[in-house]
Amino acid sequence: MGQALRTMTKRQEILVILLTIGMLGTLYFYNLGGWLIEDDEGSFLYQAWRVSEGDRPYADFFTSRWPLFLYTAGTLVNLFGRSIVAIRAVSVLLTLASAFIVFLLARRFLPAEGAWLAMLTFLLHPQVFFYGRRLYPEPFMLLFVALGLYLFDRSWHEQRGRLLTVAGLSFGIATLYKFLGLLPLIGCLLWAITDAWRQRANWRSWITRTVTFLAPFGLLVGLSFLGFMYWEPSFYSSVIGVNLAQGQELGWTQVLVKGVVFLLSYLLRYLSLMVFVLPAAWTSRRDSRRALISWQLPTALAFLVLPRDLFVRLLFYLAPSLAILFALALDPLRQWAGRSFLFVAVIGAVLLPWTLEDTIQAMRTENDTARIVKLIRNQTDDKAYLISDYQELNFHAARRSTYLGAEISQVVVEGEQITGAQLIEEIKENPVKMIILDVSPETARHLVNLVDYEQFRSYVEENFELLGRFPRSRQLLEIYIRDQ
């Protein structure tokens, strides 16, 4: 493939790229509805359904998500109904579009075969494959992050003001989908500052370009933020407040140690990739243009000072840069005489295990969710409320939850945004017919972590009848029903 790309015209090159995306797209699209157990996605699906029903986030149901994602997801439910395959297919299409932009961006630093390798690495990255097949804000954010990086690189040195403005807007949209979309923009600014210093740039011109880039971003994000707060007064406490409340009990040393452990765990998780990426980032810093990608990595140091809980998907925004840096690392090897075997061996050592991991993930199936959803629908009518550890059950069964029950997650429970006493009050005020608790020692981490769980459980046992215990993969769900 690499040899063919070197001898092709621009048009043929694009055709090969589209063919590659199409081939890998079949793996992305394969068995999209086979595995339905994903608690974070379940909250997003349920909240999207509520938006499609005309309910307002923050006012009619609790959520810690940014509104642009919720209203986008609600629109998808309006278009496709509660079809999990159709909804997830949109995420797949966004991810494939992001891959094409990654190729275009990498092509500015690499020959066609190197850019092709960057795109391939991006699509096979296990994180990209996982979130690219589910309804998460990540695929939406990543599309605009990749687009922002590409437009920024195209327009900065050429001083193309319109493209710089669009780049700023693209990063703004990424940030409105997920706040971490801000970090790639910071990486661009770090690069712009160091490049200007090294090149002894005209600072008046530099300031003009920076304002052209930042002003549309600031206006879009700032006005949107103020608009959210004006139209939905609960927005700040629900979204910003939830994140600020996490980890407040930790000292700065504990926060720093937690951040170091988090970054090291990511490094070890993708060690086969990072042993090439980190040296490439270090050597590329001397190249005026390639350094733009290298400067994306230091933005991850922001997690050293964040007290909130840290999850691997928070570094998802780095996927395009990691893929391009991997291709840059192998570029000298690609140019060596007699390099073919070693070049292919290195690529295989990284990408073949990922391909196997992605394939296994794509082939996963389970029928427990459909069985439990059928039970819920048989035991309740469409006016009954359901409080569940997993809101995807509400989504698939089309059963509402209470205001707080719309997002029962580890983060909001451990942050005490939800307590058992609050849920008890909601049960008394709403027609809650059924309650589902995960009691598996292996998987239970939501309601069982309520600060007053014992009080909540006692209330449930006194006022609801245990219908039974039902396995759902590794979960063990206790289903309680109220007769009255």
User: What's the pLDDT tens digit per position in 268-281?
Assistant: 999 999 999 999 99
**What is the Cα–Cα distance from 174 to 150, expressed in whole angstroms?**
14
Global pTM? Answer: 0.92
Residue 427 has pLDDT above 60, yes or no: yes
Give 78 or 9, the one with higher predicted confidence: 78
Nearest to 81 by CA among 51, 44, 47, 52: 52
* pLDDT score, position 273: 93
For the packed helices 182-199 and 203-231, what is the interaxial angle rounded to 10 degrees?
A: 170
Give 483 or 230, the one with higher predicted confidence: 230
How remote is the C-alpha of 207 from its chain's centroid? 33
Q: Are 325 and 293 in contact (CB under 8 A)?
A: yes
Residue 338 has pLDDT above 60, yes or no: no
Sequence-ordered list of residues with C-beta below 8 angstroms from that of 119, at least 6 positions apart, any chain? 17, 20, 21, 99, 100, 102, 103, 106, 323
Mean of the pLDDT values across residues 391-418?
A: 92
* pLDDT score, position 275: 93
Per DSSP bridges, beta strands 465-472 and 385-388 are unpaired
How far, in Å, are 112, 181, 290, 361, 397 from residue 9 at the CA level?
10, 35, 24, 36, 52
Q: Are 415 and 245 in contact (CB under 8 A)?
A: yes
**What is the Cα–Cα distance from 429 to 307, expressed in whole angstroms?**
35
* pLDDT score, position 140: 97
Residue 337 has pLDDT above 70, yes or no: no
The tokens of 321 are what? Answer: 């840069």
Winning range, highest mean pLDDT, from 153-162, 198-207, 316-325, 345-354: 316-325
* pLDDT score, position 323: 96
* pLDDT score, position 190: 94
* pLDDT score, position 7: 60
Mean of the pLDDT values across residues 342-360?
A: 88
Q: Are 90 and 433 in contact (CB under 8 A)?
A: no
Per DSSP bridges, beta strands 475-481 and 465-472 are antiparallel
Average pLDDT, the chain: 91
pLDDT band at 252 (very low <50, low <70, confident <90, very high): confident
If you search the block for the tokens 């989908």, which residue do you land on? Answer: 177
* pLDDT score, position 36: 95
Residue 2 has pLDDT above 70, yes or no: no
Residue 415 has pLDDT above 90, yes or no: no
Q: Are 51 and 60 in contact (CB under 8 A)?
A: no
Residue 4 has pLDDT above 60, yes or no: no
Q: At 243, which amino acid appears?
A: N
| Predicted confidence (pLDDT) per residue in 298-319, tens digit | 999 999 998 888 888 999 999 9
Give 7 or 374, the one with higher predicted confidence: 374
pLDDT band at 347 (very low <50, low <70, confident <90, very high): confident
What percentage of the chain has pLDDT greater than the value 90? Answer: 73
pLDDT band at 379 (very low <50, low <70, confident <90, very high): very high
Residue 8 has pLDDT above 70, yes or no: no
* pLDDT score, position 308: 81
